[in-house]
Amino acid sequence: MTISNREPTILTGWWDFAVRALTALTTPADTDACDRGVEQLARESVVGNMLHRASTVVRQAWLTSRFRSVAMSLAAALMQAPASAPWMPWRVAGWMIAVTGATALGLNQLAPIPLGPLTWVVPSALVAVGLLVMAAAAPLSRAAADRDLRHRERG
């Protein structure tokens, strides 16, 4: 498509603008060069330097945090299923789902305005599913182990 050099009218001016805009947007760009340019711009900017320093401080604080060490050890203990209790991760997952639903139900009661007639349905379903998963943790664990075994045998 070529753009003529004639005097633009209101109709041809918009057409010329659209053609030039689409041409500019659809020309191939060197994305690696663009990424390097944005990275360089961020490095040289005051805001970029402040954000980088803040992220470094937060990262170092997180790595040395007591909360992180306790949370990681708790997660490892809960999610590491010993041979004698392979159902434990299922029971923990069911508990987490039930607590999520119960929390949502409790928070719905604290709302300053009514949220609607059926806002209790999804949180109640979460509580019910969570309790069901907790109760059926052993059969679910056996079924998951059997499925994994069948998938490994296939290939």
Asked if residue 120 belongs to a domain, the reply is yes
Asked if residue 118 belongs to a domain, the reply is yes
Q: How confident is the model at residue 81 (pLDDT cuts 50, 70, 90)?
A: low
The count of domains in the chain is 2
Asked if residue 58 belongs to a domain, the reply is yes
Q: Are 59 and 92 within one domain?
A: no
Alpha helices by DSSP H, listed for the chain, are: 10-26, 31-44, 46-63, 66-79, 88-109, 121-135, 137-154
Residues 100-142 have pLDDT tens digits of 999 999 999 898 888 888 889 999 999 999 999 999 999 999 9
Q: Are 96 and 132 within one domain?
A: yes
Asked if residue 75 belongs to a domain, the reply is no
Q: Closest Cα to residue 100, out of 138, 128, 76?
A: 128
| Domain extent for 135 | 83-150
- Give the chain's mean pLDDT: 86
- Inform me whether the pLDDT recorded for 2 exceeds 60: no
